[in-house]
Amino acid sequence: MSAGVTRIGLLGCGTVGGAVVRALSRNGDTIARASGHRLEMGPILVRDVSRPRPGVDPSLLTDDPARVLDDPGVAMVVEVMGGLDPALDYLRRALEAGKPVVTANKQLLSREGPRLLEIAERSGTELRFEASACAAIPVIKVLRESLLAAEIQAVTGIVNGTTNYMLTEMARAGLSYDDALAQAQELGYAEPDPTEDVNGADAAAKMAILASIAFHARVPFDAVPYEGIDTLTAEDVGLAAELGFVVKLLGIARLVNGSVTVRVHPTLVPEGHRLAAVSGADNAVLLESDTAGEIMLLGPGAGGPETASAIVADILSILGTHRGSFLHNALADAGRPVLPPAEVTSAFYLRLSVADRPGVLANVASIFGEEQLSIRTVVQKGEGDGARLVLVLHPGVEGRLLSAVGRVAALAEVRDRPVVLRVLGSGDDG
């Protein structure tokens, strides 16, 4: 199928917008194969057109919103400028003109979402907002589609990447509050004004959106009481740790006797709880339901490329897919070759039962050396007239490992068939 051209107008080209431009240009072929649409970017609205932006054609930049909103050639609008004003007006204009909109703007959606969705509906178009909560984690899609019939009872989450990163780095590296915040800003996790991250408002906006979808209820931002980490002291974090707790900024939404409650506050989480292990800028959302049990979604919760991934997914959902495309034909797609198992690289654990004679270890080691396999750890344990030899190898090619194991098994000093297990670790792909 030959791809038609669809032009996307962009409102904002900062951390997220720049990443969207780069992701769309990198994934152009995949999108065209899935949707039958070849995407063209621009115009792109910014405040400062003179600032260079990596991977972005400067001739597409404009500081005039009408160039994006009133251009009949723009078929879809992506809003990644943030804030309420003028974003609300721009989105309203785009939707009223019948143009589908994708946005990452949780501040706006948690306050004006129902109004914007009504305009979209009236105009026969769509408003999508996966990127507004938990960046790369497809939590809205899961709640809206996959768990539609699950009757969710509770949504508990770490939904702000900046503060989770700060709490992790303050505990792990002893960073001060200000240094941890500066790092989160540098890494592109924080909001343009990070006050909303640290005071809990960003998490409250996301919880309002998630609770609305999970419980099929209208939960506006104003209905979510919130506290942030800005009043948390190192002393309380330390004392909580002594008592076996990790302090996390949690969003907690529940159904209580048929009514919805949503709040955000720093919370002591028992060390063994799944949410306690969520570190750095990761987010995690624990969904509880009577029918589907507990489901935890975990992944990058902030950052330009991470958020762009959700925006591209929304664009693809709006464009739809065509018969014969990857999405209709997912198990039958032959876009890439499959690596033969013998060429896969893994780290290995080996246990050998050997006669306890001089030179055994040297013979075994020289076989691995000849097969280009490097030994990381050796443990030898005596047992009667024999020994148990346990080796952990650095990642190596599976075919060579099997050849080495065959040669080792054939040594006169080796008594039983060697036991081979794979070790999960860095540098392997198997």
Q: Which residues contact 113 (CB under 8 A, 6 or more apart)?
A: 129, 209, 212
**What does the alpha-carbon distance between residue 367 and residue 404 come to, in Å, rounded to a whole number?**
6
Per-residue DSSP letter, 302: S
Q: Check: CB of residue 331 under 8 Å from CB of residue 405.
A: no
Contact status: 348 vs ligand HSE (CB under 6 A): no
Contacted by 197, from ligand HSE, ligand NAP, none: CB < 5 to 8 Å by type: ligand HSE
Binding residue count for ligand HSE, defined by CB under 6 A: 11
Least CB distance from residue 302 to ligand HSE, whole Å? 4
Residue choice 6, 160, 309, 317 for contact with ligand HSE (CB under 6 A):
160
Give the separation between CA 96 and CA 281, rounded to whole angstroms: 36
| The binder of ligand HSE chosen from 79, 197, 282, 314 (CB under 6 A) | 197
| 372: region left, alpha or beta (phi > 0 left; psi from -120 to 50 alpha) | left
Could you tell me the smallest distance in angstroms from the CB atom of residue 206 to ligand HSE? 7
CB of 82 to ligand NAP, least distance (A): 3
Q: Is 189 in the site for ligand HSE (CB under 6 A)?
A: yes
Binding window for ligand NAP (CB under 6 A); candidates: 25-33, 44-52, 117-125, 283-291: 44-52
Give the residue nearest to ligand HSE (CB): 162
Instruction: Using the Cα atoms of residue 133, residue 163, residue 287 and residue 330 in order, give the sign of their dihedral.
Output: positive
Stretch that binds ligand NAP, among 7-15, 22-30, 114-122, 343-351 (CB under 6 A): 7-15
The DSSP call for residue 36 is S
Query: Which letter does DSSP use for residue 280 in this model?
Result: T
Taking CB under 6 A as the criterion, the residue among 14, 28, 299, 399 binding ligand NAP is: 14
- Of 47, 144, 415, 417, the one binding ligand NAP (CB under 6 A) is 47
Q: How far apart are alpha carbons 280 and 90 in whole angstroms?
A: 34
With CB under 5 to 8 Å by kind, the binding choice for 82 among ligand NAP, ligand HSE, none is ligand NAP
For residue 173, the tally of other CB atoms under 10 A from its CB is 10
284 binds ligand NAP (CB under 6 A): no
190 binds ligand HSE (CB under 6 A): yes
Least Cα distance to 353 among 380, 378, 375 occurs for 380
The yes or no reply on residue 143 touching ligand NAP (CB under 6 A) is no
Q: Which does 45 bind (CB under 5 to 8 A by kind): ligand HSE, ligand NAP, none?
A: ligand NAP
45 lies in the binding site for ligand NAP (CB under 6 A): yes
Say how many Å lie between the first and final Cα of the chain, rounded: 35
Helix 360-370 to helix 398-409 angle, to the nearest 10 degrees? 150
- Confirm or reject binding of residue 102 to ligand HSE (CB under 6 A): no
- Quote the tokens at residue 250: 């949690």
Nearby residues of 402 by Cβ (< 8 Å), 6 or more positions away: 342
The answer to whether residue 206 is catalytic is yes
352/420 Cα distance (integer angstroms): 9
Interface residue with ligand NAP, options 86, 174, 225, 406 (CB under 6 A): 86
How far is 424 from 359, CA to CA, in rounded Å?
30
By annotation, the residues acting in catalysis are 206
Q: Footprint of ligand NAP on this chain (CB under 6 A)?
A: 12-17, 45-48, 51, 80-82, 86, 104-106, 131, 135, 188-189, 191-192, 302-303, 307
Q: Footprint of ligand HSE on this chain (CB under 6 A)?
A: 135, 160-162, 189-191, 197, 202, 301-302
